[in-house]
Amino acid sequence: MTEHEGGDQLELIPALARSRARAARPPSARKPAALTEDHPVARVLVDVPLAHLDRPFDYAVPATMAEAAVPGARVKVRFAGQDVDGFVIERAATSEHTGQLQPLRRVVSAEPVLSPEIAALTGEVAARYAGTRSDVLRLAVPARHATTERQPPAAAEPIQTEPDASGWQPYAGGTGLLDRLAGGESPRAVWTALPGDDWAVLLTEAAIATAASGRGALVCVPDHRDVARLDAALTARLGAGRHVVLTADQGPANRYASFLAVSRGSVRIVIGTRAAAFAPVHDLGLVAIWDDGDDLYAEPRAPYPHTREVLLIRAQATGGAAIVGGHARSVEAEYLLRTGWAVEVAAPRDTIRERVAVSVTGDSDFAFERDVRAGSARLPREAFDTIRVALETGPVLLQTPRSGYLTRLACDRCRTPATCANCQGPLRVVSAGRPPECAWCATPAIGWKCAQCGGQGLRAPVLGDRRTAEEIGRAFPGVPVLTSSGDKVLAEVPDKPAIVVATPGAEPLPATGYSAVLLLDTWLLLARSDLRAAEEALRRWANAAAMVRPVSEGGRVLVVGEPTAAAIQALVRWDPAGFARREILERQSAHLPPASRVATMTGPLADLEPAIEALDAPEGVEILGPVPVYGDEEAARFVVRVPRAAGPELSAALSELQSQRSARKLPHVRVEIDPASLD
């Protein structure tokens, strides 16, 4: 160490000691910082997950932070003896707090990332789902990326491209919808897309029409493949940089850059997955959601909001337009029509018949004469004939519900499900040439014997996509057979003969449409023990069938299943609206959503029973349960059901219950309102 360096170090020692002494003094002994005279009170939403503390707290604004502590800024505050994060939501002249206010510790960032609209939205969503605003804020505002934040904002450029309404002409009310958007109005529509139409192009035109009126647009889609499709459509029409993509898997820097572009008003068209639902779009004029029945829209983190409901809350609060679109129709979308909140945009029956023809194997006497197994075989003769003819003109899609090889095994004598001798897990075969093994512990089941009848033979009641592809490949030698499922999803398939075996949602996009679409193992989707089993089956089938070529070009959809099933009949008629209406009537009679509001309370029974007793539920409440939770021996679940009109009261009662339990430091009880599944 040189003499000069040593001198510098010695000079720092007293300063360090003084700093440590100041930190050690209690806050009351420190000299108070001078406060600003202009609105010296900051109301802060503190990042504390405790329900009984879910409200803004007032803090004093030091004069040194007066310009930086703007509404929407991130700050550090002292709370319960610790420094915690928070957002300034308001600056005020006075406070109702009678004591001395704690000053803000520091302003982390003066960037106003929480707009007044989104701050209000987080409160509404938290109230709707009986959660806390701090949990909703984590969904609404991405983590800060300081380097990205220091980049100067880009200049906002108005979009002057005129919308093209030609794609909307086949729909009753379609061109009128775009005209109203372009004119600054706020129509609300439930749109049933035609097979063969590029939904991404049509939603692009709706966003452009909204932008032409000087307003912003927000479009949510289920997954990254849909985002890429919509992104390409917008880029083709507007060029690069005129819209942004917001998804959870973008990475911290890219996601925050996209968020800031929206927050600063540089871009007013936003697309993305459920992560985009809270995007702070300036002058929001349109919210749209594609395929709203997809379970990817159900947020897996507390308070478990659904993207559709968040967007509808925004449309209601801002007076903006809304489009709920899909090839199928969810019962929630149908309920919007039933209540008059939205109007229907759909094509007439003649147009639908020109686009798609759906038939079921074994649904005629002629089919049975040709093949007596037409109504029971997994791949009857009619299916092979359809594939053979369709391969002459292009690719053929086979949709099968399960991925894998032989996903479940059973005794071939008594049909008892085959289980592992080690852990009782289900047996499966993962590939050809390998012995059966346990799906839970991977123990090989060599020498397996049925515990019921002593049989040693195994059969596969359910085949996966890889086994299906193997069987089809043997039947059509020389034809390329492609699989798309799980983490190996194909984006597109060329316009040439090939057989594509895909699971629902993993179907590759064909260049000019599939020459035929076959839906296999339809019984498996319908056999799910779920309230939405039939609705979900129809949605998955419709999404696949919509990729077929028009009838005039020989396109055909063939369903291998039971012709009398209601969902299959709805697909044959291409009548998702009628199916949704019947579902609503059935749910009304059973007091199920959307006709009723339902909440589940999950946790150890010892915690649930006193919670149920303390719940101040509204009139007409029904409490069902408790029932055990599959996979968790200690957990149980109650279902709380009220008439739909009493939904807000139920949410308020559950919020108050959580607040009381939090204040008394009782164990947390998981509450979900209108869960996607009641299983």
- pLDDT recorded at residue 403: 64
Cα 185 → chain centroid? 28
For 557, the enclosing helix (H) or strand (E) is strand 556-559
In the predicted model, is pLDDT for residue 23 greater than 60? no
- pLDDT recorded at residue 13: 47
- pLDDT recorded at residue 69: 96
- pLDDT recorded at residue 10: 37
Detail the DSSP E strand segments found in 573-660: 596-604, 622-629, 632-643
Give yes or no for a contact between 56 and 41, defined as CB atoms under 8 angstroms apart: no
- pLDDT recorded at residue 460: 62
Range name among 21-25, 148-152, 400-404 with the lowest pLDDT average = 21-25
Give yes or no for a contact between 269 and 217, defined as CB atoms under 8 angstroms apart: yes
Report the percent of the chain where pLDDT is more than 90.
70
State both tokens at 35.
């406060």
Higher model confidence: residue 386 or residue 590? 386
- pLDDT recorded at residue 531: 81
Higher model confidence: residue 175 or residue 31? 175
What phi, psi does 599 have (nearest 5°)?
-130, 145
Range name among 79-88, 285-294, 520-529 with the lowest pLDDT average = 520-529
Range name among 83-92, 229-238, 523-532, 547-556 with the lowest pLDDT average = 523-532
- Neighbouring CB atoms inside 10 A of 66's CB total 18
Span 375-396, pLDDT tens digits: 445 688 899 999 999 999 999 9
Span 123-150, pLDDT tens digits: 999 999 999 999 999 999 999 999 999 9
**Class of 41-115 per CATH?**
alpha beta
Place of tokens 């018949």: 353
Q: What is the mean pLDDT of residues 317-338?
A: 97
pTM comes to 0.87
| Maximum C-alpha span of the chain | 106
In the predicted model, is pLDDT for residue 437 greater than 90? no
In the predicted model, is pLDDT for residue 232 greater than 50? yes
* Rg (alpha carbons) of the chain, rounded to whole number: 29
d(CA 452, CA 450): 5
- pLDDT recorded at residue 32: 62
Instruction: Establish whether domains 166-351 and 354-586 are of one fold.
Output: yes
d(CA 495, CA 476): 18
DSSP annotation of 142? P
Range name among 14-18, 45-49, 71-75, 512-516 with the lowest pLDDT average = 14-18
d(CA 314, CA 330): 20
Q: What is the mean pLDDT of residues 89-114?
A: 93
Give the number of C-alpha atoms closer than 13 A to the C-alpha of residue 76, restricted to the C-beta side: 8
Q: What is the mean pLDDT of residues 617-640?
A: 88
d(CA 547, CA 522): 18
CA angle 460, 485, 557 (to 5 degrees): 80
Amino acid at 549: R
Span 256-282, pLDDT tens digits: 999 999 999 999 999 999 999 999 999
Does domain 354-586 fall under CATH 1.10.3210? My reply is no
- pLDDT recorded at residue 402: 78
Q: What is the 3-state secondary structure (H, E, C) of 175-193?
A: HHHHHHHHCCCCCEEEEEC
d(CA 100, CA 319): 41
Q: What is the mean pLDDT of residues 196-217?
A: 97
Give yes or no for a contact between 170 and 347, defined as CB atoms under 8 angstroms apart: yes
> Which residue from 227, 241, 347 is spatially nearest to 289, judged by alpha carbons?
227
Amino acid at 497: P
DSSP 3-state assignment of 211? helix
166-351 CATH, one of 3.40.50.300, 3.30.565.10, 3.40.50.880, 3.30.70.3420: 3.40.50.300
In the predicted model, is pLDDT for residue 6 greater than 60? no
> Which residue from 272, 276, 279, 274 is spatially nearest to 304, judged by alpha carbons?
274
Give the number of C-alpha atoms closer than 13 A to the C-alpha of residue 645, restricted to the C-beta side: 3
Q: Can you give the residue ranges of every domain in the chain?
A: 1-31, 41-115, 166-351, 354-586, 592-673
| Architecture of the domain delimited by 592-673 | 2-Layer Sandwich (3.30)
d(CA 65, CA 70): 9
User: Directed axis angle between helix 576-590 and helix 331-338, to 10°?
Assistant: 90
